[in-house]
Structure 1
């Protein structure tokens, strides 16, 4: 029905204004519709048959260039171009169909004419072209009348994008004093517009800020040094660079970026003193090394280029002071090198100080420093910083050692008082407070203390607060007062089979005195021993002497010990000597005739063989006899004591249990306490109370005691009372029946009635 509407439109049906006529035509058309359709479809096979009998002429697409300019505002479909077949545009039987990118949403095609329209604004930077496909179909059958064709709609570029710098931020460095044309850095910008479409994406660079120090190449964006730059004037530049498209033509778009250029320091500046002359002062009592003052020079360079080293020109009074460099603060520290004295003529000193660049000594500056000495009230000063004195040992008490002198530097007529700071060693000396003379107060011995160190003080008589100190070192000189002595002398042995002239031992002597005055020593024998001698002494003249045998063989039986007298003399003035007696033991040295085995028991066996063993045997026998006598007597006393109280002392005394009251006493068998091996006679009884009861039991009212236990206690009490050979206090060893407790709360407490106590007292 839609196809016929087109036919009606061609014939001007729509121009009919008479509605009735229009309605009649519609009725007639409806009646004729079946016939028309049958004729139409019957005609199709005839055409196909004709096509089969003859070659069909190929039809093609007729193209137009298809372009869309980007960023165009589209309020209604905007015509782009047309696609049609070469069969002509009036064939109403052909229907055009569009496929591909944006078909139906961005682009539409008129199915009758093949005209293509765009529906919305496009952006080339988002999509530069669209690929679509078109197809021509038979409107009735839907059979393609043309092969499917692919085409492209290009989006034309306009200059709608400004350049953009990449790799931001830009930070560069350049050394000061760099020559013109020195490369600094490069900036790069990009433009999203189409570089192939005119000059939309062609950029040029320029500097908006940063001239005349820097310049930029128009096309590459390379920044170079344009004029000499000085870091001390400005150490950082912010160069603003502009990038513009369309080669800067009218309507061009642009953007800017900032390039931070840091200027690197070059060591091109010398240190400078703020002033050419400095004035300082120092008190006359200052010690060596004390700080006088500081100076500071400035170098406008930075880092290592600004490091300064201070020195002193060898002019003027340079030797009185030193100067050093503080690396942290870059100050020159002036210190005192020698002591100054206000009372001397030099009360002002001039020095020349040099401040030079550490890395470039040719860059320097000079300054003059005037140093004034300030007077102060000073304590006395000793004429020497320390004193050394000597005194012989063993000098009499009160001997003069030496003297010290101190003066007041402010007034030479000031009276000075001297004293000793006493310590353990200074008690050996005393000093005259008026003239500083030192004397001994005790005897000195070099062998005990070689040096004595004392500290003296000097004080102004009018100003005791001002005190100065000095050390005095007193050396005790040696006097030959110690005779030589033998050193480290072991046990000496001589073999029985020794021959004349054999070495027995080499002795060594020492002397507490100094070697220079007492060595070497001489070794001799007394004249009486040298005539008839068993041994001889040979002086080796090196403070040693060798003992030699003087006879053929020695007998341990006849004479096991020999004594040798040695006289040792030194070469002092006067000479001192000592006499030592050596004991030489005779030893059976065995086959090898070696004395090494003598100290391991050989001599002891020989000594035993000489009769000492008999004496030891007699002594041991006497000890055994004495021990036997003591044993016999002790045994006799033991039998007597055991007969009297064996049952009680060996059995009852071991009973240390508190007991369990009635149950305990009833369970206890008294017969086990008796010693059946000892027979004793019954002694006559003495009238005593046999009804002794525990006071604790009576207090508790526990009933009568066991009869057999009461009988046992009574018997023991009777034996103790009638035994005349025992001391009266023996009754304290008697026992009473304990029961379950006692008034005293402890074991073995006795409870007596008044009657029993009185009877015992009467008996004794």
Structure 2
């Protein structure tokens, strides 16, 4: 075997191999070639591929070296253990290449990891394995005896499938006295034997001459073939027809329909009569292929199309025509006809996928080689020039890597979650007129990588759990999804460690790692824990794993599990019995005592009401339902018992109702002064013994009064500014008294035993649309109070809560709502107004209230603003 290394680069030789590296760049190499004789035995070694290509034999299995060929049959394979190219089937050069002088068998070697493509050309050398043969084994020639010496008679050429020196080299004629043999070489290289008459024929001496022609090739050893020629000597007709041309040439399109005339041959005969009448025939040695494609009119010599022509199968046809007269004996003349088949664009381009890598990781870099593609078109010229294209919407493009060779590479990022599989449509179009095209679809699957973290259905969850519920019950459930696939989409849930009241959150709840269900570890107590927050993490099982977090806020809902507790009087709190003293001179409305109770619950569960259930004399005392004040309903008479006993029930508004009872023992005594005196009387009748104390009290009251006056002036200025854009600048007492309505939406209460007795913030009417700041003093109220009504936003309300929460203990105020489970949304979305009521135990405030309300009414009158019920205000 002989190795041949081409001296031309791929730029000069379009069929040269190419190499594709993992960096998506293709390097060009010189073609590798071998030369072998045909008919090698199976298993014969053509060449050592691994050594010649610089490959490591031990890596051939891993790199999956394989052979691809455009031929329909495989003749070669690679011994991966030795790296040798061997023959696996009989190779007949004549079957592969016919009469072509050069027979090259192309192979493409594809190697993976990294991807490489090499072209190997194997030249099949001819051996002298075929003998020359004549199509006609016996030929009869009729020659008139009057033919002059030197006349030539063309004979049939011998056919030898071998080429080069192994084809027909010479002809020999058997020994005779009248004929010799000459060989005429045609311009296409064919050798045509001719029988030449050397001596005149004499039919009377010898009417039949038997000759043997032998065709000899130039092989080693020499092969030959023979044919018998019988020459019959005829009498009379001594002029043979003569053609106008020795060779007729014509072009015909390959799509010519049967019956179309191609060329018209014409011959003349100098004889007269039947000896000069000529008929045209195909020569005796004409092949069956010519007879199936063409026909000739015997009388006219017109050659017409008979069968289907195909430029790709055979673009050139040559045959001989014989013209015979009707003389006796018949004389004939000969000419050649050459017909070229003109190509038309009748073949669709073919797309060949040489190598395909799939599936492809979705994070493949731009320029990654996906497939190696080639195209072919058996047409010629522009009809065979092919252009390949791919859809512009596809994330792939074609990169030329040689003549009609392309690399399919990525041109943009891939995302399996958007499209897990691409049907890449490749179109091939030739340059013919009209152009023909074909399409091929390549399925490219994407391999998932973990590029998407789990996504929770919500960024944050709000959960409401009743206190005292059984441990182990499900609290809530979170869910997350991951658009990845396989392990990259398998999600496990966990709770991130954090502290709740200095205790790990894992002591409160745990989560099912598979489905995200959150369970409680123990029962909750609203009075100890009202709300806590946990962080849930969802993590996939990819490598590396990705995760995301969600916040779960757990609100503990209060249940009525605490009874009201009495905090004043303190003696009642200890033994549920309070001893009080009051004078018999007490009038109706006399304040005997005031009960104060608190409830550790919240909302309706902490709304406390007071009720007198039993009394020694029910007509003498009354208990305020909301404040717990015990007052006389009438003046005490001499007939009333000196010892009065009251049983007061304190209950909340929860379900079920929780209650407590307090027994108040009241002793009626004569001459006992009232504990609550009019401050104005004490000021107008000072005692000398308490003058200093009174002075201190006056100074304190004066300081408080000045401070209060400044506060009220600021409020009045704000009210005047706000009233310019409001519909009403004042309100009546009936509007201010709405704080007693228990159906308020929001309430804040402050209860102390100091100078400030009561602070209450009540939610405004849900339907109120007022946006003005309005204030009203209640001069007719029996309480020392003032009321401010202001449209409130969530921010303002939170500021009030923050101030109260920062300045007061938790046990001194409660926050209530009609809809406990929707407290947050209620505050943020539905709170339209808030009423603030402050009660101050100072008669001096009453005068300030009257003055401020009178000024407000006057201002309203000056501004001509509507002021309902203004006339009723003193």
TM-score normalised by the chain length of structure 1: 0.37
Higher strand share: 2
Larger gyration radius, structure 1 or structure 2:
1
Normalised by the size of structure 2, how large is the TM-score? 0.33
